[in-house]
Amino acid sequence: MPIPTAHVDVAVPVPLRQTFTYAVPPELAGALLPGQRVAVPFGRRKLAGFVLGPVLEPPQGTRIKAVLGLLGHDPVFDSELLGFLLEAARYYLHPIGEVLRAAAPAMPREAVEALRRSGRLGAQETFKGGQLRTRSILYVSLVASDGNLRGARQRALMTLLSERNELSIDELRRHIKDPRGVVRALEGKGLVRTEIREVPENPFFASPVALEEGPTPNEEQQIAIDAILSRLGPTASRAPVGASFLLQGVTGSGKTEVYLRVIARARELGLSALLLVPEIALTPQLVARFRARFGDDIAILHSELGERARDDAWRSLRQGRARIAIGARSALFAPVQRLGVVIVDEEHDGSFKQEDGFRYHARDMALLRAHRAGAVCVLGSATPSLESVTLAHHNRLTHLHLRARATRQALPEVEVVDLSRHRNGPTGHRLLSGPLFVALRTCLEEGGQAILFLNRRGFSPALRCETCGEIQECPACSVSLTGHRKMRLLRCHYCDFSRPTDTPCGACGRRPLLELGLGTEQLEAMLHEAFPAARVARLDRDTASGRGVEAVLERVRNGQLDVLVGTQMVTKGHDLPNVTLVGVVLADQSLAFPDFRASERTFQLLSQVAGRAGRGERPGRVILQTYQPTQPAVAHARTHDFEGFCDQEMAERRAHRYPPFARLAALRVDATSDQAARRAIGALAAVAERHPEVREGRVDVLGPAPAPIARLRARYRHRLLLRSADRVALRRVARTLVTHMDGGIGPARASIDMDPVNML
């Protein structure tokens, strides 16, 4: 509905927690719509803001400026998405203008240029947006299902159409030789209809995938599918409570198959689906499975797609031409029409949390978006977050279980190797212990493949000066530099700093520097030496990105590699059937983080990497090396005991009043001088301490304290945590602090993070 008033409310992308009133110029009277992008004057600048709605009583006593012009006719956000984003901005106490800018696709180039020119934009200067790169495709759809059919090809085509209703000629070609003639014949009988449509080009769909049926769901899958489908429907109103689900199933139990069935039904009902995955670059197989089931009616939102392709994907969803959106956390903002189902795969994954700018948690927001849209939401994981388990305990999520692997393979056996009791292995290195070495040799002799997981890239994670003992640190961050041999560099993994390996010690100016610890680069070299006949490759951020990952995994699948060494990248949901051995080189690494979730994250990581073993015909085996075999994350990962881990960890959290038994808000301050940062956080802490909710004990203030990484990119960092079981009280204090922050805190920068994940 166009806005009839003389004034509109506009969200402007500035770091201010408010919106602004603008006058509607005569040429745009009655033409503005909520969600449209408009050019507005702001101070001496011109900015692209978003129309939110009408203003009936414009503020008195200030000069109200007028909107300069429209930057695109079609609203960028429809009412469902706009309403959701407004609520998200309120929840995270983040400026709405910045939220909308973060959620919107890039502006078309003509709009950017118009914004740069001075003066008012004429009404004729509105923009349709960039041109879509498209190709013409012939679609065939079903008109009537019975008639007299002649020949096997006609019958095959009609069978396909009765299942899928509509297929492109390209898809038909994969099933039927030379389908055009058959289509023409059936069209003549009035059984099918054809139509040429312009379809956006997407490089992701370069190679065709054969359509496939998928297995018949087993009993547990069917129970889960039925439960979810019973709440799926085109309701205009809010979804009934209980329309959100936690689908807990061990790796390989067939969760993806459940998603596929639910989405298939949603499509039959004319509804669309949104699937969020941790990292789209690491899930080419998942995307391929969706394409194999649904054809090319899918928009992939991939950060590595060019701006143009991303824009195409956005538009095909906005116009309802694509009805499935798949992407990483920012796909949460995909303009899916008639949203019927939202799925968050691997919901426990930390990458769903955006850690700068608009800090949101895509899992929490997926629940909100689905709820507002009347859609069902499914959170899937083998190792659900304790937050989601708690929601299930409180019946806010319906807990569904898949207890066995779908293909009836057993979960792999996990052996724990206590590194403190083992001497150096045959290579002379402790981290390639005797048992791991022997298991690797056996695996290779039997023609199996192995994955070795080590969460440190580079050759050695730290370097010490042999003369003065100084650990070489980054000059801008309080972090040790990592040695990279092939690149001949010492690098900081937090900023872009690097220096050549042969430069002298930063403290005393002497040489040499001793390499400490083990990184993936060194592990790869060790394996080359120990198993010269084996084909070894490494997968980490230094060796692969985007399509590179796919290429390496493809080589594993094709049997061109024997051992894959890597960081977290190797732990994700890859299905590599010939992998029979998984080695976790050092399980303790992620336990050492100064973070109350360190144990939970370790358990998740160990379970996930263990799940890579034995997915094919042959049973899998996992060797887990650690110095802390009795630590709960390690001990329970050994027995695949999620419940046992969960109970023990919940008790810990309850005792220390950490989430999910309380909520947190983090206030972070950084400045170029430590003094300025200390002063700013001190002032915020003082405001917090005076707040009645804090004085009366409903909200705790933890800190202020220097952050564990006290200096990052040459800025000193301090923080303050608010904690409370009472969410309303917590928000009250947080809002007061944010108002104080907005009033200015000297030369320091400050930000708030509701429900923080990153504790560094």
Closer to ligand ADP by CB, 261 or 315: give it. Answer: 261
Residue 127 vs 259, nearer CB to ligand ADP: 259
Least distance in angstroms from the C-beta of 354 to Zn ion: 22
Task: Note whether 294 and 324 are within 8 A (CB).
Answer: yes
Which of the ranges 72-80, 245-253, 503-511, 637-645 carries the binding residues for ligand ADP, by CB under 6 A?
Answer: 245-253
C-alpha to C-alpha distance for 155 and 161, rounded to whole angstroms:
10
**Site membership for ligand ADP, residue 254 (CB under 6 A):** yes
CB of 682 to Zn ion, least distance (A): 26
Where does this chain bind Zn ion (CB under 5 A)?
474, 476-477, 492, 494-495, 497
Output the smallest distance, CB 476 to Zn ion, in A. 4
473: its two tokens: 């640190």
- Which residue, 380 or 506, is less far from ligand ADP as judged by CB? 380
Q: Which does 302 bind (CB under 5 to 8 A by kind): Zn ion, ligand ADP, none?
A: none
**69-70 and 37-42: which strand pairing?**
antiparallel
Specify the length of the chain in residues: 760
Instruction: Classify 645 as helix, strand or coil.
Output: helix
Give the C-alpha separation, 267 to 165, whole Å: 11
Residue with tokens 């209980």: 242
Shortest Å distance, C-beta 640 to ligand ADP: 14
If phi > 0 it is left, if psi is from -120 to 50 it is alpha, else beta; for residue 314 that is alpha
| Smaller CB separation from Zn ion, 462 or 688 | 462
- CB of residue 491 vs Zn ion: minimum separation in angstroms? 9
Residue 257 as a binder of ligand ADP (CB under 6 A): the answer is yes
244 near ligand ADP, rule: CB under 6 A: no
Contacted entry of Zn ion, ligand ADP, none for residue 217, CB cut-off 5 to 8 Å set by kind: ligand ADP
Q: Report in angstroms how near the CB of residue 263 gets to ligand ADP at its nearest.
A: 13
Cβ pair 734, 693 in contact under 8 A = no
Give the distance, in angstroms, between the CA of residue 334 and the centroid of all CA atoms in the same chain. 13
Q: How far apart are CA 156 and CA 158, in angstroms?
A: 5
CB 239 within 8 A of CB 370: yes
Among Zn ion, ligand ADP, none, what does residue 672 contact (CB within 5–8 Å per kind)? none
Cβ(327)–Cβ(280) below 8 Å: yes
Q: Does position 407 bind ligand ADP by CB under 6 A?
A: yes
Q: Residues 36, 256, 520, 751: which binds ligand ADP (CB under 6 A)?
A: 256
Q: Where are the alpha helices (H) located in 493-630, listed in sequence order?
A: 520-530, 547-557, 598-610
The nearer residue to ligand ADP, 394 or 408, going by C-beta atoms, is: 408
- Quickly list DSSP for 592-637: GSSSTTHHHHHHHHHHHHHTTSS-SSS--EEEEEES-TTSHHHHHH
In this complex, which beta carbon is closest to ligand ADP, that of residue 93 or of residue 553? 553
Supply φ then ψ for residue 498, to 5 degrees: -150, 155
| Partner touching 253 among Zn ion, ligand ADP, none, CB below 5 to 8 Å by kind | ligand ADP
- CA dist 93 and 734 (Å) reads 8
Q: How far apart (Å, rounded) are the C-alpha atoms in residues 565 and 599?
A: 23
Residues ≥6 apart with Cβ < 8 Å to 233: 269, 340
CB of 556 to ligand ADP, least distance (A): 16
Does 218 participate in binding ligand ADP (rule CB under 6 A)? yes
Complex with ligand ADP: residue 218 or 351, whichever CB lies closer: 218
For 161, the token pair is 């159409």
260-279 residues in contact with ligand ADP (CB under 6 A) are none
Q: Which two tokens stand for residue 605?
A: 């990581």
Task: Please choose, out of 114-122, 246-254, 651-659, 691-699, the segment that lies near ligand ADP by the rule CB under 6 A.
Answer: 246-254
- How many chain residues interact with ligand ADP (CB under 6 A)? 17
Residue 174, SS3 per DSSP: coil
- Cβ-based nearer residue to ligand ADP, 256 or 354: 256
Question: Between residues 192 and 382, which has the closer beta carbon with respect to ligand ADP?
Answer: 382
| Token output for 279 | 């990292």
Give Cα 584 to chain centroid, integer Å: 24
Question: What does 406 interact with, of ligand ADP, Zn ion, none (CB < 5 to 8 A by kind)?
Answer: ligand ADP
256 binds, among Zn ion, ligand ADP, none (CB under 5 to 8 A by kind): ligand ADP
Site for ligand ADP in 553-582 (CB under 6 A): 573, 575
Minimum distance, C-beta of residue 539 to ligand ADP, in the bound complex (Å): 19
Which of ligand ADP, Zn ion, none sits in contact with 104, Cβ below 5 to 8 A by type?
none
CB nearer to Zn ion: pick between 479 and 745: 479
Question: Is residue 226 close enough to count as binding ligand ADP by CB under 6 A?
Answer: no
CA–CA gap between residue 375 and residue 231 (Å, rounded):
8
Residue 519 Cβ vs Zn ion, minimum distance, rounded to whole Å? 17
- What is the number of other CB atoms lying within 10 angstroms of the CB of residue 377? 26
Residue 384 CB, shortest distance to ligand ADP, in Å, is: 13
Of 255, 261, 371, 640, the residue at the interface with ligand ADP (CB under 6 A) is 255
Residues 6+ apart with CB under 8 A from 665: 721, 722, 730, 733, 734, 752, 753, 754, 755, 756
Task: Please state the closest distance from residue 250 (CB atom) to ligand ADP, in A.
Answer: 7
What minimum distance in Å lies between the beta carbon of 739 and ligand ADP? 45
Which residues, in sequence order, are CB contacts of 707 under 8 Å at separation 6+? 668, 717, 718, 719, 760
Site string for ligand ADP, 377-406 (x = CB under 6 A): -----------------------------x
Closer Cβ to ligand ADP, 275 or 416, answer by number: 275
Among 72, 217, 412, 566, binds ligand ADP (CB under 6 A): 217
Binding range to ligand ADP, per CB under 6 A, among 172-180, 217-225, 308-316, 536-544: 217-225
The one among 126, 154, 244, 253 contacting ligand ADP by CB under 6 A: 253
| Cα angle for residues 378, 637, 588 (degrees, 5° grid) | 115
Q: Which of 208, 215, 270, 559 binds ligand ADP (CB under 6 A)?
A: 215
DSSP 514: E
Of 77, 308, 110, which is closest to residue 204 (Cα–Cα)? 308
Rounded least distance, CB 435 to Zn ion, Å: 37
Q: How far apart are CA 501 and CA 511, in angstroms?
A: 11
Q: Which is nearer to Zn ion, 285 or 472 (CB)?
A: 472
Query: What backbone phi and psi angles, to 5 degrees, belong to 108?
Result: -60, 150
Q: Which residues pair with 668 in a beta bridge?
A: 719, 751
Structure tokens at 454: 């080590």
How far apart (Å, rounded) are the C-alpha atoms in residues 417 and 440? 14
**Which one of the spans 185-193, 248-256, 309-317, 436-444 is the region binding ligand ADP (CB under 6 A)?**
248-256
Work out the end-to-end distance of the chain between its first and last CA atoms, rounded to an integer number of angstroms: 46
Of 506 and 629, which CB lies nearer to Zn ion in the complex structure? 506
Min separation Cβ 482 and Zn ion, Å: 11
Cα gap 387→483, rounded to integer Å: 38
Determine, following the binding rule CB under 6 A, whether residue 617 of this chain makes contact with ligand ADP: no
- State which residue, 218 or 631, has the beta carbon closest to ligand ADP: 218
User: CA angle, corner 467, sides to 463 and 471, nearest 5?
Assistant: 30
Q: Which does 62 bind (CB under 5 to 8 A by kind): Zn ion, ligand ADP, none?
A: none
> Which entry of ligand ADP, Zn ion, none binds 407, CB below 5 to 8 A by partner kind?
ligand ADP
Where does this chain bind ligand ADP (CB under 6 A)? 215-218, 221, 249, 251-257, 406-407, 573, 575
